Amino acid sequence: MLKDIIIVGGRVAGLTAGLYAKRGGMDTLLIEKMFSGGQIATTYMVENYPGFDEPIGGPELAMKLEAHARKFGLEILYDEVIELKLDDKIKTVVTTGGEYQAKALILCMGAQPKMLGLEKEELFRGRGVSYCATCDGAFYKEKDVAIVGGGDTAVEDAVFLAQHARKVYLIHRRDALRASKILQNRMFQNPKIEVLWNTVVDEILGEQEVEGLLLRNVKDGTKRDLKVDGLFVAIGIQPNSELIRGKITTNEIGFVIADENMATNIPGVFVAGDLRQKPLWQIITAAADGAVASISAQRYIMEEFA
């Protein structure tokens, strides 16, 4: 089945690219392996997307984006892409259920939370270790939790967790946060949240589940135990780039390098959203990437397949 454009990933960038492609009259297929929205589907509230002057729930915004794209006729297939064949002019997308071909591809697989790399981190995932405060915060009603990180995610999540938990420790490796000032101010005003500066987690303590953390002060090397029931990790994102490793130019971490048209080093293959190397990974930049990638893909098809 030859499509004009296949979009891999139904997150903000992918849904936006699909909306623009359908409006451009392109025969377009979006393939998503799980659910629409990606990281915003697990975000509690979004309050910096222009036009929404009242905060909107992440899942609600994800549903609106999908509904908006479908309104223009975007076809969405729920299936897992297992291989991308990029060598020929016509690109092939292999899923667990079949093979699909397209004149142009837009890659929007996004990113996922990074792990700390601690010994019991994987073992205790779901048993006290979490990467999604919105998903798991309610399990910690009147309990004590820690969150590691100093960016927007950690600070926003600390405030969210304080709605449920008795006490929230924000553990940050430096003495200054990189989160935006408005989020920082909100956190500093919350009496349930205590920031542990210049501190890292050396070990997760507990036999069957998280019972505490071994902390180390990076300035003076002192160590201490902190009793907590949950550890939330919010130390940034890593790209979902397994499908394209070795096939497309990325940076050393795996974020795809693209020009301002969202074109990768392979003609006919475009990238958009959190998968792309860029200075700001946010909903607004994902949507903008999706729009640019879609228009670039349409121009490419008009020039190369006229």
Minimum CB–partner distance for residue 106 and ligand NAP (Å): 21
Stretch that binds ligand NAP, among 128-136, 139-147, 210-218, 228-236 (CB under 6 A): 228-236
Minimum CB–partner distance for residue 182 and ligand NAP (Å): 9
β-bridge mates for residue 84, sequence order: 93
Minimum CB–partner distance for residue 236 and ligand NAP (Å): 3
Question: Starting from the edge strand earliest in sequence, which strands make up the sheet with 144-148, in order?
Answer: 129-130, 230-233, 144-148, 167-171, 193-196
Stretch that binds ligand NAP, among 60-68, 125-133, 230-238, 262-270 (CB under 6 A): 230-238
Minimum CB–partner distance for residue 268 and ligand NAP (Å): 28
The yes or no reply on residue 166 touching ligand NAP (CB under 6 A) is: no
Of 36, 42, 153, 250, the residue at the interface with ligand NAP (CB under 6 A) is: 153
Rounded CA separation 286/108 (Å): 9
The yes or no reply on residue 92 touching ligand NAP (CB under 6 A) is: no
Contacts of 252 (CB under 8 A, 6+ apart): none
* β-bridge pairing 28-32 and 75-78: parallel
Binding mask 112-131 for ligand NAP (x = CB under 6 A): ----x---------------
Four-CA torsion 154, 172, 178, 157, nearest 10 degrees: 10
Catalytic machinery residues? 132, 135-136
Rounded CA separation 10/35 (Å): 7
| Cβ neighbours, 10 Å, residue 207 | 6
Rounded CA separation 239/154 (Å): 18
Rounded CA separation 238/127 (Å): 23
Of 149, 212, 230, 290, the residue at the interface with ligand NAP (CB under 6 A) is: 149
β-bridge mates for residue 30, sequence order: 7, 76
Rounded CA separation 57/267 (Å): 37
Q: Which residue is nearest to ligand NAP (CB)?
A: 151
The yes or no reply on residue 148 touching ligand NAP (CB under 6 A) is: yes
The yes or no reply on residue 282 touching ligand NAP (CB under 6 A) is: yes
Minimum CB–partner distance for residue 178 and ligand NAP (Å): 4
Instruction: List contacts with ligand NAP (CB under 6 A).
Output: 48, 116, 148-154, 156, 173-174, 178, 200, 234-237, 280-282
